[in-house]
Structures are given as structure tokens and as C-alpha cells.
Structure 1
Amino acid sequence: MSTLRRSRQKFYNVFSYCYDFFITLHSGHYRNETRNFLVDSAQPVRTKQVRVLDVCCGTGSVALAFADKYVDALTVGCDFSTGMLHKAALKDTAHKILLVHGDAACLPFGEDCFDIVCCSHALYELKGQARTAALQEMKRVVTPRGQVLVMEHEVPQNYLVKIMFYIRMLMMGPTDAREFLEQGLTPFRNIFNDVTLSHSPSGKSKLVICRKS
């Protein structure tokens, strides 16, 4: 892992203490709506023992939502921040999910082993090459008929949250920030054969759904 990635890892270890507060501030009462929209957009081929991977799982909210919907699923949350994983473990009092320490750009899983792979509000925080590698890794680990679902924030309207949003964009670098703000699908279409775009009912988030075959 590069020096930059290690410094970002330390940042997210600290950020984990206020991450849920930041998400609540940004999403408000739309938080559950956005998460449910992501989970309900998944269309696994199998109806039993679904295998779900949440990449950059953060504090585990999305992984837990999948585990609640698919009660017999193998639901895995993967993050490179031990701080985030610790917070996720504290939430998972019923031990519904498996938490794995790993890098999105080099996932510690075999090929074609998950029916659903998701990444919620995290992919665009990766630098260009790491983001491309993460998308390639998600394609590698999802089954041929599975789905990769990538959800990201639209530009916030709340003044304070917008300032924090743009600070995060600047951390990515001007080129990467511009790519995010333009909301292009080209990076996804360069990797996946089938890419569609939709938006949450409130318009707070956008969802890119990808299939590799």
C-alpha cells in the first residue's frame, strides 16, 4: 500500500468516530430511503443463500440492511479502515455479517463468488487508478449473472455539508473531482458490458448498476 493510501487509511480511522453523524447531517430523514433504494435495486438470480459483498463498507449500515433483507445470505463487509470495521462490529450485535479488512483495489476474494457487489458513497473518494482497479476487482469477484451496484451522493444542497463535500473532492485532486461532478458513466462502461443509471426517489443519490455479462 502506498504512503498516500496509508495516510488516507489513518484519516478514515479517525473519521470513523464522526462518520455516521456526517451521513445523518447530509442525508437527514432520507438516509433510510437511500439505503433501502440501494438494497431494493439488487436483483440476485438466486433467492436463497445470496452472497453479498459491500466494498468500502464503512460502519456497516448497508451490509446490515442486506443481511436484514436476505436473512440466510452470506453478507460480507470489506474496508481498509480498521476504525470503520470496529464501528461496524459494534453495530452488528446479532453477528449477521462477516467483516474483512482489505483494500478495494485488491480484494481478498476469489473470482465469481458474489451474487451482489455494492459500493455505497465511497468509490469516488479513490484516486483515478485505484478507482479503476476497484471497479475491475468488483467485476472479477461478482458472478457472471450478478450485479455491481455503485451509489454516490449528488452534490449536497445544505451549505455546511456542501463545504465538507467539496473539501473531500479537493482531497481527491482536481481531475478526479471534476470527473465525479460530471457524473459520467464512461469509467463504468470501460469495464462492464451493461451499465444503467438511476436516482433515489429524493434525488439525494445516484445509482449505477453494472453487469459483466
Structure 2
Amino acid sequence: MSDIRKGRQKYYNIFSHFYDLFIKMHSHNHGEETRKFLVNSAKLGEKNHPRVLDICCGTGSVALAFTQKHPNVQSIGYDFAVGMLHKAKQKDTSGRTQFISGDAARLSFADNSFDVVCCSHALYELKNEVRTAALLEMKRVVKPYGLVLIMEHEVPRKRLIKILFYIRMMSMGPKDAREFVKQGTLPFQKIFADVTLSHSQSGKSKLITCSKT
């Protein structure tokens, strides 16, 4: 592991103690709405024991939301920061959600393993080559007719808020984070056979739905 990666891992281990509070302040009470939108968009319906993988899961809110919505789901949260996973396990009062440490660019799962693979508000924080590798890995592990769901922030329309948004991009993501966000669905269309775009009710987030067949 490179020194830069070790540094980022240490940063997120420390940040895990404040992460949920930060997200609550940033989302302005829209966090639950956004998670419901993502979970409902998975269209698991009455599938028998579906498997869901949440990459860059942070403190596990999305993985846990799948568990709460679908009693028969096998929901797995995946993150490289042990501190984040520790907080996620503390929140899992039912003990039904798995949390695994690993690299988003090298997933430790077999091909065609999951009905749904998702990643929420995290891809922009990865470097371009790592981001592409992570998307290819998502495509590899999702089932042929499964879905890859990518939730990202909408670019704010108001000028001041937009400036603050891009400052956050520069401080928390790589140099190409702004360009990645501005490209919309193009990076996903290069990898997946079918890509559609939808928006949360609040307009704070956008959902890119991808399938490989």
C-alpha cells in the first residue's frame, strides 16, 4: 500500500468519529430520503434472498437501509477504512449486515455474485484510474441482469453554493473530481451497456443506474 493511500486510510479512520454528523449537516435532513430513493431503485421486489454490495460504504447507512427494507437480503458493506466499518458494525443492532474491509478497485468476490452493487457519494473521491478500475469491478461482480447504482451529488445551481461545492470537491477529492462530476453519465456509458439518469425528490442527488447486458 502506498504512503498516500495509507494517509487517506488514516484520515478516514479518524473522520469516522465525525462522519455521521458531517453527513447530517451536509444533507440538511435529506439523507433518509436519498437512501430510500436508492434502495427503492434497486427493484429487489420479491426476489428470493437477493445479494447487495455497497462499495465505499462509510458507516454503513445504505447497507443497513437495504437490510431494513428487505428482511431476506444479504447486504454487505465494503470499505477500506477500518474505522468506518467499526462504526457501521456498532449501528447494526440486528447483526444481519456484513461489513468487510477491502479495496474498491480489487473486489474480493467472484464474477456475477450480486443482484445489486451500489456506491453512494464516493466515486468522486477516487483517482481517475482507481475510479475506472472500481467501476469495472462493479460490472464484473454484478449478475448479468443485475443493477449497478451510483448516487452522486447534483451540482448546485446557486452561484455561492456552487463555489462552496467545488471547494469541497478540491479538498476531498483528486484533481479530476470536478471534471468527473461535470461529465454526468459519460464515464459510465464507456463501461456499461445501458445507463439511465434519475434524480432524488429533493434535487440534491442524482442516481446513475447501470446494467451490463
TM-score of the superposition, structure 2-length normalised? 0.92
Counterpart residue number, 2:112: 112
SS at match of 1:174: coil
161-170 vs 189-198, which moves further: 161-170
SS at match of 1:115: strand
The separation in 1 between residues aligned to 2:47 and 2:90, in whole angstroms, is 29
Q: Which runs of 5+ in 2 are unaligned?
A: none
Question: What does residue range 162-201 of structure 1 map to in structure 2 within 5 Å?
Answer: 163=164, 166-180=167-181, 182-201=182-201
Give the root-mean-square deviation of aligned CA atoms.
2.1
The separation in 1 between residues aligned to 2:162 and 2:193, in whole angstroms, is 35
Say if 1:25 and 1:161, in contact at 8 Å, map to a contact too. no
SS at match of 1:29: coil
Describe the superposition over 1:140-165 as per-residue Cα deviations: whole angstroms up to 9, x where unpaired. 000000000000112357x7997476
Counterpart residue number, 1:147: 147
Say if 2:77 and 2:97, in contact at 8 Å, map to a contact too. yes
TM-score of the superposition, structure 1-length normalised? 0.92
1:10 and 2:20 equivalent?
Answer: no
Question: What does residue range 1-213 of structure 1 map to in structure 2 within 5 Å?
Answer: 1-44=1-44, 47-155=47-155, 163=164, 166-180=167-181, 182-213=182-213
Moved over 6 A (4+): 159-162
The separation in 2 between residues aligned to 1:131 and 1:75, in whole angstroms, is 22
Number of residue pairs matched by the alignment? 212
Cα 1:165–1:48 change in 2 (3 A) is: farther
The separation in 1 between residues aligned to 2:10 and 2:165, in whole angstroms, is 18
SS at match of 2:12: helix
The separation in 1 between residues aligned to 2:12 and 2:203, in whole angstroms, is 27
Question: Residue 47 of structure 1 aligns to which amino acid in structure 2?
Answer: K
Say if 2:51 and 2:75, in contact at 8 Å, map to a contact too. yes
Describe the superposition over 1:74-95 as per-residue Cα deviations: whole angstroms up to 9, x where unpaired. 1100000001000000000110
- Deviation for aligned residue 1:171: 4.2
SS at match of 2:176: helix
Identical aligned residues as a percent = 55
Cα 1:72–1:161 change in 2 (3 A) is: farther
- Deviation for aligned residue 1:176: 3.0
Cα 1:162–1:85 change in 2 (3 A) is: farther
Q: Which runs of 5+ in 1 are unaligned?
A: none
Say if 2:169 and 2:177, in contact at 8 Å, map to a contact too. no
The separation in 2 between residues aligned to 1:46 and 1:4, in whole angstroms, is 44
The separation in 1 between residues aligned to 2:22 and 2:166, in whole angstroms, is 10
